[in-house]
Protein backbone atom coordinates (compact mmCIF):
# COMPACT_ATOMS: atom_id res chain seq x y z
CA UNK A 1 0.00 0.00 0.00
CA UNK A 2 1.22 3.50 -0.79
CA UNK A 3 1.97 6.11 1.86
CA UNK A 4 2.88 3.53 4.46
CA UNK A 5 5.99 2.79 6.46
CA UNK A 6 7.51 -0.60 7.00
CA UNK A 7 7.73 -1.56 10.66
CA UNK A 8 9.52 -4.85 10.18
CA UNK A 9 8.51 -8.34 9.22
CA UNK A 10 7.17 -11.50 10.82
CA UNK A 11 8.19 -14.77 9.14
CA UNK A 12 8.65 -13.09 5.78
CA UNK A 13 5.51 -10.94 5.92
CA UNK A 14 6.17 -7.19 5.87
CA UNK A 15 4.36 -5.23 8.54
CA UNK A 16 3.36 -1.76 7.39
CA UNK A 17 1.58 1.13 8.97
CA UNK A 18 -0.31 3.69 6.90
CA UNK A 19 0.55 7.30 7.78
CA UNK A 20 -3.10 8.03 8.66
CA UNK A 21 -2.77 5.46 11.44
CA UNK A 22 -0.62 7.97 13.37
CA UNK A 23 -3.59 10.35 13.51
CA UNK A 24 -5.40 7.89 15.77
CA UNK A 25 -3.09 7.94 18.86
CA UNK A 26 -2.54 11.70 18.42
CA UNK A 27 -6.30 12.30 18.29
CA UNK A 28 -6.91 10.04 21.29
CA UNK A 29 -4.13 11.67 23.30
CA UNK A 30 -5.41 15.20 22.75
CA UNK A 31 -9.10 14.36 23.10
CA UNK A 32 -8.37 12.74 26.49
CA UNK A 33 -6.34 15.79 27.56
CA UNK A 34 -9.14 18.11 26.33
CA UNK A 35 -11.63 16.10 28.40
CA UNK A 36 -9.53 17.15 31.40
CA UNK A 37 -8.31 13.66 32.29
CA UNK A 38 -4.61 14.43 32.67
CA UNK A 39 -1.49 13.12 30.96
CA UNK A 40 -1.42 9.74 32.71
CA UNK A 41 -4.96 8.92 31.54
CA UNK A 42 -4.14 10.14 28.04
CA UNK A 43 -1.03 7.94 27.91
CA UNK A 44 -3.09 4.96 29.11
CA UNK A 45 -5.67 5.61 26.38
CA UNK A 46 -2.95 5.70 23.74
CA UNK A 47 -1.43 2.50 25.15
CA UNK A 48 -4.87 0.88 25.04
CA UNK A 49 -5.37 1.78 21.38
CA UNK A 50 -1.92 0.46 20.53
CA UNK A 51 -2.77 -2.78 22.38
CA UNK A 52 -5.97 -3.08 20.32
CA UNK A 53 -3.98 -2.70 17.13
CA UNK A 54 -1.56 -5.33 18.40
CA UNK A 55 -4.58 -7.65 18.55
CA UNK A 56 -5.65 -6.55 15.04
CA UNK A 57 -2.14 -7.33 13.81
CA UNK A 58 -2.31 -10.83 15.33
CA UNK A 59 -5.75 -11.23 13.71
CA UNK A 60 -4.28 -10.45 10.28
CA UNK A 61 -1.36 -12.79 10.95
CA UNK A 62 -3.99 -15.47 11.64
CA UNK A 63 -5.32 -15.01 8.08
CA UNK A 64 -1.79 -14.99 6.68
CA UNK A 65 -0.76 -18.19 8.48
CA UNK A 66 -3.95 -19.98 7.41
CA UNK A 67 -3.32 -18.91 3.80
CA UNK A 68 0.24 -20.19 4.01
CA UNK A 69 -1.14 -23.66 4.74
CA UNK A 70 -2.53 -23.61 1.18
CA UNK A 71 0.68 -22.27 -0.32
CA UNK A 72 -0.66 -18.71 -0.55
CA UNK A 73 1.86 -16.04 0.39
CA UNK A 74 1.01 -12.73 2.06
CA UNK A 75 2.81 -9.69 0.68
CA UNK A 76 2.26 -7.45 3.63
CA UNK A 77 -0.02 -6.52 6.48
CA UNK A 78 -0.96 -2.84 6.67
CA UNK A 79 -2.45 -1.13 9.69
CA UNK A 80 -5.00 1.60 8.95
CA UNK A 81 -6.98 3.66 11.49
CA UNK A 82 -10.05 1.55 10.63
CA UNK A 83 -8.25 -1.79 11.00
CA UNK A 84 -5.74 -4.03 9.33
CA UNK A 85 -5.42 -5.41 5.81
CA UNK A 86 -3.51 -8.59 4.96
CA UNK A 87 -2.58 -8.58 1.26
CA UNK A 88 -2.86 -12.19 0.28
CA UNK A 89 -1.53 -13.07 -3.16
CA UNK A 90 -4.85 -14.66 -4.01
CA UNK A 91 -8.03 -16.03 -2.51
CA UNK A 92 -8.55 -19.73 -3.07
CA UNK A 93 -11.72 -20.67 -4.94
CA UNK A 94 -12.08 -23.83 -2.87
CA UNK A 95 -14.84 -22.90 -0.40
CA UNK A 96 -13.34 -24.82 2.53
CA UNK A 97 -9.97 -23.11 2.08
CA UNK A 98 -11.52 -19.63 1.85
CA UNK A 99 -13.63 -20.47 4.89
CA UNK A 100 -10.61 -21.49 6.96
CA UNK A 101 -8.61 -18.41 5.97
CA UNK A 102 -11.56 -16.13 6.82
CA UNK A 103 -12.21 -17.78 10.17
CA UNK A 104 -8.54 -17.92 11.22
CA UNK A 105 -8.40 -14.16 11.94
CA UNK A 106 -11.37 -13.98 14.35
CA UNK A 107 -10.20 -17.25 15.96
CA UNK A 108 -7.01 -15.43 17.02
CA UNK A 109 -9.14 -12.85 18.87
CA UNK A 110 -11.17 -15.63 20.48
CA UNK A 111 -7.87 -17.10 21.71
CA UNK A 112 -6.63 -13.72 23.01
CA UNK A 113 -9.91 -13.04 24.86
CA UNK A 114 -9.88 -16.54 26.35
CA UNK A 115 -6.29 -16.17 27.59
CA UNK A 116 -7.03 -12.73 29.08
CA UNK A 117 -10.24 -13.76 30.85
CA UNK A 118 -8.76 -17.03 32.12
CA UNK A 119 -5.66 -15.15 33.29
CA UNK A 120 -7.76 -12.54 35.09
CA UNK A 121 -9.99 -15.09 36.78
CA UNK A 122 -6.95 -16.93 38.15
CA UNK A 123 -4.95 -13.89 39.24
CA UNK A 124 -5.51 -11.65 42.26
CA UNK A 125 -6.82 -8.53 40.53
CA UNK A 126 -6.68 -6.58 43.78
CA UNK A 127 -2.89 -6.47 43.49
CA UNK A 128 -2.99 -4.36 40.33
CA UNK A 129 -6.52 -3.07 39.78
CA UNK A 130 -5.49 -0.71 36.97
CA UNK A 131 -3.79 -3.48 35.00
CA UNK A 132 -6.73 -5.78 35.63
CA UNK A 133 -9.14 -3.16 34.32
CA UNK A 134 -6.91 -2.52 31.28
CA UNK A 135 -6.71 -6.24 30.42
CA UNK A 136 -10.42 -6.78 31.07
CA UNK A 137 -11.26 -3.99 28.63
CA UNK A 138 -8.80 -5.42 26.11
CA UNK A 139 -10.50 -8.82 26.44
CA UNK A 140 -13.87 -7.19 25.78
CA UNK A 141 -12.48 -5.40 22.72
CA UNK A 142 -11.37 -8.77 21.35
CA UNK A 143 -14.89 -10.12 21.81
CA UNK A 144 -16.22 -7.05 19.95
CA UNK A 145 -13.61 -7.59 17.21
CA UNK A 146 -14.85 -11.16 16.73
CA UNK A 147 -18.53 -10.12 16.62
CA UNK A 148 -17.82 -7.15 14.33
CA UNK A 149 -15.68 -9.11 11.88
CA UNK A 150 -18.25 -11.87 11.67
CA UNK A 151 -20.94 -9.46 10.39
CA UNK A 152 -21.67 -11.00 6.98
CA UNK A 153 -20.45 -8.06 4.90
CA UNK A 154 -17.70 -7.94 2.33
CA UNK A 155 -14.82 -7.39 2.74
CA UNK A 156 -15.15 -8.37 6.38
CA UNK A 157 -14.47 -11.95 7.37
CA UNK A 158 -18.14 -12.75 7.95
CA UNK A 159 -18.87 -11.91 4.29
CA UNK A 160 -16.19 -14.34 3.14
CA UNK A 161 -17.46 -16.99 5.52
CA UNK A 162 -20.96 -16.50 4.08
CA UNK A 163 -19.77 -16.70 0.47
CA UNK A 164 -17.64 -19.78 0.99
CA UNK A 165 -20.48 -21.44 2.90
CA UNK A 166 -22.98 -20.66 0.11
CA UNK A 167 -20.45 -21.76 -2.54
CA UNK A 168 -20.57 -25.25 -1.06
CA UNK A 169 -24.18 -25.54 -2.20
CA UNK A 170 -24.36 -23.34 -5.29
CA UNK A 171 -22.45 -21.75 -8.11
CA UNK A 172 -19.58 -19.47 -7.00
CA UNK A 173 -20.99 -16.47 -8.88
CA UNK A 174 -24.44 -16.91 -7.37
CA UNK A 175 -22.89 -17.28 -3.90
CA UNK A 176 -20.90 -14.08 -4.46
CA UNK A 177 -24.01 -12.25 -5.61
CA UNK A 178 -26.00 -13.19 -2.50
CA UNK A 179 -23.08 -12.47 -0.14
CA UNK A 180 -22.47 -9.07 -1.79
CA UNK A 181 -26.14 -8.10 -1.49
CA UNK A 182 -26.20 -9.13 2.18
CA UNK A 183 -22.99 -7.10 2.58
CA UNK A 184 -24.59 -3.93 1.19
CA UNK A 185 -27.62 -4.30 3.44
CA UNK A 186 -25.28 -4.75 6.43
CA UNK A 187 -23.28 -1.67 5.38
CA UNK A 188 -26.41 0.47 5.32
CA UNK A 189 -27.33 -0.89 8.75
CA UNK A 190 -23.84 -0.08 10.08
CA UNK A 191 -23.98 3.44 8.65
CA UNK A 192 -27.37 4.07 10.31
CA UNK A 193 -26.02 2.70 13.58
CA UNK A 194 -23.00 5.00 13.23
CA UNK A 195 -25.23 8.01 12.51
CA UNK A 196 -27.54 7.42 15.46
CA UNK A 197 -24.71 6.68 17.88
CA UNK A 198 -22.55 9.50 16.53
CA UNK A 199 -19.73 7.04 15.76
CA UNK A 200 -17.71 8.52 12.89
CA UNK A 201 -15.43 5.47 12.69
CA UNK A 202 -18.43 3.19 12.18
CA UNK A 203 -19.71 5.42 9.36
CA UNK A 204 -16.27 5.27 7.69
CA UNK A 205 -16.14 1.47 7.97
CA UNK A 206 -19.72 1.24 6.64
CA UNK A 207 -18.78 3.39 3.62
CA UNK A 208 -15.78 1.18 2.94
CA UNK A 209 -17.86 -1.99 3.27
CA UNK A 210 -20.60 -0.58 1.02
CA UNK A 211 -18.12 0.31 -1.75
CA UNK A 212 -16.47 -3.09 -1.59
CA UNK A 213 -19.80 -4.92 -1.64
CA UNK A 214 -20.95 -2.71 -4.53
CA UNK A 215 -17.79 -3.51 -6.46
CA UNK A 216 -18.38 -7.19 -5.81
CA UNK A 217 -21.92 -6.83 -7.14
CA UNK A 218 -20.74 -5.00 -10.27
CA UNK A 219 -18.33 -7.82 -10.91
CA UNK A 220 -21.10 -10.40 -10.70
CA UNK A 221 -23.55 -8.37 -12.79
CA UNK A 222 -20.81 -7.81 -15.37
CA UNK A 223 -20.49 -11.56 -15.60
CA UNK A 224 -24.20 -12.13 -16.09
CA UNK A 225 -24.97 -9.25 -18.45
CA UNK A 226 -24.57 -11.26 -21.59
CA UNK A 227 -20.98 -10.28 -22.38
CA UNK A 228 -19.22 -12.97 -24.35
CA UNK A 229 -16.53 -14.72 -22.40
CA UNK A 230 -13.55 -15.53 -24.55
CA UNK A 231 -10.74 -17.24 -22.66
CA UNK A 232 -7.34 -15.69 -23.30
CA UNK A 233 -5.18 -18.08 -25.21
CA UNK A 234 -2.40 -18.96 -22.80
CA UNK A 235 -3.82 -18.25 -19.38
CA UNK A 236 -6.22 -21.16 -19.11
CA UNK A 237 -3.79 -23.92 -19.94
CA UNK A 238 -2.59 -24.82 -16.47
CA UNK A 239 -4.71 -25.64 -13.44
CA UNK A 240 -8.47 -25.77 -13.34
CA UNK A 241 -10.56 -22.80 -14.52
CA UNK A 242 -11.74 -22.45 -10.93
CA UNK A 243 -8.55 -20.61 -10.06
CA UNK A 244 -9.26 -18.02 -12.71
CA UNK A 245 -11.11 -14.78 -12.40
CA UNK A 246 -13.37 -13.57 -15.12
CA UNK A 247 -14.30 -10.05 -16.06
CA UNK A 248 -15.42 -8.46 -19.31
CA UNK A 249 -14.81 -11.60 -21.25
CA UNK A 250 -11.23 -11.99 -20.19
CA UNK A 251 -9.93 -14.76 -18.03
CA UNK A 252 -6.96 -14.01 -15.90
CA UNK A 253 -5.32 -15.87 -13.12
CA UNK A 254 -5.90 -14.67 -9.57
CA UNK A 255 -2.23 -13.98 -8.98
CA UNK A 256 -1.69 -12.36 -12.34
CA UNK A 257 -1.61 -8.79 -13.54
CA UNK A 258 -4.72 -7.31 -15.15
CA UNK A 259 -4.92 -6.30 -18.83
CA UNK A 260 -4.88 -2.52 -19.45
CA UNK A 261 -8.05 -2.82 -21.56
CA UNK A 262 -10.23 -3.90 -18.61
CA UNK A 263 -12.57 -1.26 -17.22
CA UNK A 264 -11.78 0.45 -13.93
CA UNK A 265 -14.92 -0.96 -12.29
CA UNK A 266 -14.12 -4.53 -13.35
CA UNK A 267 -10.62 -4.31 -11.93
CA UNK A 268 -11.98 -2.75 -8.70
CA UNK A 269 -14.50 -5.57 -8.42
CA UNK A 270 -11.92 -8.22 -9.04
CA UNK A 271 -9.47 -6.65 -6.60
CA UNK A 272 -12.10 -6.45 -3.88
CA UNK A 273 -12.58 -10.19 -4.05
CA UNK A 274 -8.84 -10.70 -3.77
CA UNK A 275 -8.11 -9.29 -0.31
CA UNK A 276 -5.37 -7.23 -1.96
CA UNK A 277 -5.03 -3.50 -2.23
CA UNK A 278 -3.13 -3.18 -5.48
CA UNK A 279 -2.38 -4.98 -8.73
CA UNK A 280 -0.08 -4.76 -11.69
CA UNK A 281 -1.45 -3.60 -15.05
CA UNK A 282 -0.07 -5.05 -18.28
CA UNK A 283 -0.43 -3.93 -21.88
CA UNK A 284 0.51 -6.42 -24.61
CA UNK A 285 2.47 -8.46 -22.09
CA UNK A 286 4.38 -5.43 -20.82
CA UNK A 287 3.96 -4.10 -17.28
CA UNK A 288 2.85 -0.48 -17.49
CA UNK A 289 2.31 0.21 -13.81
CA UNK A 290 0.48 -0.53 -10.61
CA UNK A 291 -2.92 0.59 -9.41
CA UNK A 292 -4.32 0.62 -5.88
CA UNK A 293 -7.87 -0.11 -4.73
CA UNK A 294 -8.12 3.46 -3.38
CA UNK A 295 -7.22 4.91 -6.80
CA UNK A 296 -9.80 2.66 -8.47
CA UNK A 297 -12.57 3.59 -6.05
CA UNK A 298 -11.69 7.29 -6.42
CA UNK A 299 -11.91 6.91 -10.21
CA UNK A 300 -15.32 5.19 -9.98
CA UNK A 301 -16.54 8.09 -7.87
CA UNK A 302 -15.36 10.54 -10.52
CA UNK A 303 -17.52 8.63 -13.00
CA UNK A 304 -14.58 6.93 -14.70
CA UNK A 305 -15.75 3.37 -13.99
CA UNK A 306 -15.94 2.48 -17.67
CA UNK A 307 -12.50 3.85 -18.51
CA UNK A 308 -9.85 1.27 -19.45
CA UNK A 309 -7.66 0.85 -16.38
CA UNK A 310 -4.55 1.35 -18.53
CA UNK A 311 -5.44 5.03 -18.91
CA UNK A 312 -5.22 5.52 -15.15
CA UNK A 313 -1.71 4.11 -14.88
CA UNK A 314 -0.39 5.50 -18.16
CA UNK A 315 2.95 7.24 -17.50
ZN1 LIG B 1 -10.07 -10.62 9.37
Res 102: pLDDT: 92
**Cα of 3 to ligand 1 centre, how many Å?**
22
**Cα of 158 to ligand 1 centre, how many Å?**
8
Cα–Cα distance between 278 and 293 in angstroms, integer?
6
User: Are the CB atoms for 127 and 293 separated by under 8 Å?
Assistant: no
pLDDT per residue rounded down to tens, the chain (315 residues) = 467 888 888 888 888 888 877 787 788 788 888 887 788 888 888 888 889 889 999 999 999 999 999 998 888 888 877 778 888 887 777 889 989 999 999 999 999 999 999 988 887 656 677 788 888 889 999 998 899 889 888 778 998 899 899 989 988 778 888 888 898 888 899 899 989 988 887 888 888 788 877 776 666 555 544 332 333 322 222 222 333 333 333 334 444 577 787 888 777 777 766 666 778 887 776 778 888 877 787 777 667 777 888 888 865
Res 126: pLDDT: 61
Res 253: pLDDT: 40
**Cα of 156 to ligand 1 centre, how many Å?**
6
Res 171: pLDDT: 82
- Give the count of alpha carbons within 13 A of 131, CB side only: 9
**Cα of 276 to ligand 1 centre, how many Å?**
13
Supply angle C-alpha 154, 158, 162, rounded to 5.
85
* Phi and psi torsions of 27, nearest 5°: -65, -45
Res 3: pLDDT: 76
Res 61: pLDDT: 93
Secondary structure of residue 309 in the 3-state scheme: coil
Catalytic residue from among 6, 60, 216, 256: 60
Domains belonging to the chain, first-starting first, are 1-150 (no CATH), 153-223 (no CATH), 241-313 (3.10.580.10)
**Cα of 1 to ligand 1 centre, how many Å?**
17
**Would residue 98 show up in a list of annotated catalytic residues for this protein?**
no
Res 240: pLDDT: 29
**Beta strand 244-247 with 250-253: parallel, antiparallel or unpaired?**
antiparallel
Res 274: pLDDT: 64
User: Are the CB atoms for 138 and 116 separated by under 8 Å?
Assistant: yes
Amino acid sequence: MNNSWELGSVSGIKLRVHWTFLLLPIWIYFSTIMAGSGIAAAATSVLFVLAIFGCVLLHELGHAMAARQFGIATRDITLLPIGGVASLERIPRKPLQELWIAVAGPLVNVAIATVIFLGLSFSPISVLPAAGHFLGQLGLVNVVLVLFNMIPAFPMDGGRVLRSFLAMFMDYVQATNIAATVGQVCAVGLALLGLFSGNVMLILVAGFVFLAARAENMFVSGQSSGIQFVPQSDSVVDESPKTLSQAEGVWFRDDEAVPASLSVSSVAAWLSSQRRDHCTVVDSGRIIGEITKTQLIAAIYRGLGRLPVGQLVAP
